[in-house]
Amino acid sequence: MKLVVFLSCLLIASLTMADISFASDWTEFQKDSCNSGLTCDRAPITTPSSMSWNRLFSGEAVDCPSVVVDDILYMVFPGGNVSAIQKNSGSVVWSTTIEQISYQLGSPAYGNGTLFIPRENGKVYALDSLNGELIWETDQIGNWLYTPIVYDSHRIYFGDCLDKYGNDGTFYCYTDTGDECWSKDAASGGGYYWAGPAVVEDFVIFVDSKGYLTSLDKDDGSLIDEVNVSEMFSIDDAGEFKSSVSYDSDSEKLFLTSKGGYCYSIGFDQTGSFNVYDSNYAQLDGACTSTPSFFNGRVYVGCGGWTEGKLYCLDESDLSEIWNFETNAGVKASPAISRAYDDGDGEVYIYFTTNCADGTVYCLKDYPGNTEAMEQWNYLPSNGMNNYILQGVVISDGWLFFGNDGGYLFGLANSQSVKEQHVFADFEVNVTYGDFPLTVQFTDTSSDATSWSWDVDGDGIEDYGIKDPVHTYNKSGSYNVSLTAGNSVFIHTRTVEDCISVDWNPWNDPDSESGNLISQNEVMTAISYWKSGYVIPDTDHRISQDEIMLIVSYWKSKYPM
């Protein structure tokens, strides 16, 4: 009886929201695990109106981007305050406190109902996104955790450094339940200051401060490939590498920058190796820490110092300059791109900030064939609220969010950007698990959709273009399912991780310990795999909370599974 109570309490305490990603969500630094900075959501393309809001948070510097899930904006401050904020009004939904530090430079991430926060004190904190309650925290596992956390498939990836030069770093992988999977010290003696990873298929890619670009197997941390970027391009003055790595699946290229004023593109193949023969670099006019963003064959990246800066548009094929835009100070952060207004002509809007006492947000327009910068508007907070802006912007549902060193958080919008909001993708399935061959009926429940694109096996490739497909799974494993629904103006994607589980349960084998009955030992073994996030042996499956609940129910009832 005690074991039943223990298991029930463990499950109830750990249950979180389903891991669902919406197009309107901005769940980590530069939106996704590839750091694309690209969204289908609207943001203002004309001057923000009086419907915009601002909020002062006790004068604490807001130096890392927020994350947005549904209607909630999550913000982390160095003084220890973590707040959930209603994105349309700026009102606080909940607020909690963790340990105080000096600087919050590592960006948080959201996944599986949890907010993951890297801190300067060498700890990671995991908070329940619904109420701010602490789920777990690590011991001090490193030095300054100044990189963004990237969340992917129930794991988080991040790095640390010893000092402002990014020395003596280690890169880490943890499960979303707080267990260490693996770690790797920087081979060069460098470290990771702002320099976050990109997760691409089975690999995690990152660069240390001395320019060593590393590709690891994301599951076990084994080394796939490593190159010294400075030596590859014979550059003596590259400076420290302090940008995250971004990846464009269309061109199969990685992008990064270094403080010497260089932007790099490096080919990356399906084996996890770098293609040094498909690589280029460009020298820009000023120091670079900006993580490049990209769309439609163009790369956008910022640079500059305290008094002047530029936003560059580069040709993705060779990094030659297409145009540049001069700003009032350096563009330290990474540009965000909205393609929501693209009606077939490739029109996009680029949003970025400058880091000076009069920190400003800019909006530029671009499209294929354009050869000059086209400023649409800029926003300088009024006297008393203006300050340095180290972070970039976050976009969601017609709103643009950013903070500054004065402790202000801003939400910018106007009637044009928030009207005619997206179609919302949604779907139902008639079954979520079973032995193969498993036939599943997918039923679209989206609002106002006229087109559908289904990826039912999580490989990023469209499987069906109809409204309500039927699919048969002929191989064991756990499958993510994505539906992208659209109409003539908008598109919206819903992704459910581990939506379909095929032959995932080895414990119902007649030849197992208790045959088709579930034993106490098998329950404990299943829970250990769930907590660790490891793949169940002889399957491709990571067990979910719902499946644990199912196993426990069969164990308690003593019915065959």
Phi-psi map region of 178: left, alpha, beta (phi>0 left; psi -120 to 50 alpha): left
Q: 370 pLDDT exceeds 50?
A: yes
Distance CA 369, CA 450 (A): 30
Q: How confident is the model at residue 7 (pLDDT cuts 50, 70, 90)?
A: very low
> Looking at 68-77, 262-271, 313-322, 427-436, which range is the least confident one?
427-436
Q: What is the DSSP letter of 365?
A: E
Per-residue model confidence (pLDDT) at position 232:
96
Question: Residue 388 corresponds to which tokens in the numbers above?
Answer: 């340095």
Could you please report the per-residue DSSP string of 242-279?
A: -SPPEEETTTTEEEEEETTTEEEEEEE-TTS-EEEEEE
Per-residue model confidence (pLDDT) at position 512:
58
Q: What is the DSSP letter of 23?
A: T
Per-residue model confidence (pLDDT) at position 6:
40
SS (H, E, C) 280-309: EEEECCCCCCCCCEEECCEEEEEEECCCCE
Q: Which one has a higher pLDDT value, 560 or 495?
A: 495
Question: Residue 304 corresponds to which tokens in the numbers above?
Answer: 């500059």
Distance CA 313, CA 525 (A): 53
Q: Nearest 5 degrees, angle CA 50-CA 51-CA 54?
A: 85
Q: Which one has a higher pLDDT value, 14 or 520?
A: 520
Q: Considering the chain, what percentage of its residues have pLDDT values greater than 90?
A: 70
Query: In whole numbers, what is the pLDDT of the chain averaged over residues?
Result: 89
The stretch 26-45 carries a mean pLDDT of: 95
> Looking at 348-357, 392-401, 432-441, which range is the least confident one?
432-441
Q: 150 pLDDT exceeds 50?
A: yes
Q: 504 pLDDT exceeds 70?
A: no
Distance CA 160, CA 190 (A): 10
Closest CA to 310 of 326, 297, 299, 295: 326
Per-residue model confidence (pLDDT) at position 421:
53
Extended beta strands in 461-518, E state: 470-473, 477-486, 491-502
Per-residue model confidence (pLDDT) at position 448:
73
SS (H, E, C) 405-454: CCCEEEEECCHHHHCCCCCECCEEECCCEECCCEEEEEEECCECCCEEEE
Extended beta strands in 88-194, E state: 92-97, 109-111, 114-118, 124-128, 134-137, 150-152, 155-159, 170-175, 180-185
Distance CA 332, CA 81 (A): 25
Q: 271 pLDDT exceeds 90?
A: yes
Q: 2 pLDDT exceeds 50?
A: no
Which helix (H) or strand (E) segment holds residue 14: the answer is helix 2-14
The stretch 165-179 carries a mean pLDDT of: 95
Distance CA 491, CA 74 (A): 24
> Is the Cβ–Cβ distance between 68 and 78 less than 8 Å?
no
Per-residue model confidence (pLDDT) at position 464:
96
Per-residue model confidence as pLDDT tens digits over 233-250: 999 999 999 999 999 999
Q: Which one has a higher pLDDT value, 519 or 227?
A: 227
Q: 301 pLDDT exceeds 70?
A: yes
Per-residue model confidence (pLDDT) at position 490:
72
Q: Model pTM?
A: 0.76
* Beta pairing partners, 134: 127
Distance CA 167, CA 161 (A): 6
Q: Nearest 5 degrees, angle CA 8-CA 506-CA 556?
A: 30
Q: How confident is the model at residue 559 (pLDDT cuts 50, 70, 90)?
A: low
> Is the Cβ–Cβ distance between 204 and 219 less than 8 Å?
no
Q: Which residues contact 290 (CB under 8 A, 6 or more apart)?
A: 243, 257, 301, 302, 303, 331, 332, 333, 334, 335
Q: 546 pLDDT exceeds 90?
A: no
Closest CA to 42 of 489, 494, 533: 489
Q: Which of 384-393, 411-420, 442-451 has the highest mean pLDDT?
A: 384-393
Distance CA 395, CA 561 (A): 46
The stretch 459-467 carries a mean pLDDT of: 93
CB burial of 152-166 (b: ≥16 within 10 Å; e: otherwise) equals bbbbbbbbbbeeeeb
The stretch 65-79 carries a mean pLDDT of: 95
Q: How confident is the model at residue 420 (pLDDT cuts 50, 70, 90)?
A: low
> Looking at 231-235, 509-513, 522-526, which range is the least confident one?
509-513
Q: Which residues contact 384 (CB under 8 A, 6 or more apart)?
A: none
Q: 513 pLDDT exceeds 70?
A: no
Residue found under tokens 């330290």: 332
Q: 506 pLDDT exceeds 80?
A: no
Q: 324 pLDDT exceeds 70?
A: yes
Q: Considering the chain, what percentage of its residues have pLDDT values greater than 70?
A: 91
Amino acid letter for position 310: K
Distance CA 290, CA 301 (A): 6
> Is the Cβ–Cβ distance between 106 and 122 less than 8 Å?
no
The stretch 407-412 carries a mean pLDDT of: 96
Per-residue model confidence (pLDDT) at position 66:
96
Per-residue model confidence (pLDDT) at position 454:
96
Per-residue model confidence as pLDDT tens digits over 109-119: 999 999 999 99
Q: Which domains does the chain have, with CATH numbers?
A: 24-418 (2.130.10.10)
Q: Which of 212-216, 474-478, 553-557 has the highest mean pLDDT?
A: 212-216
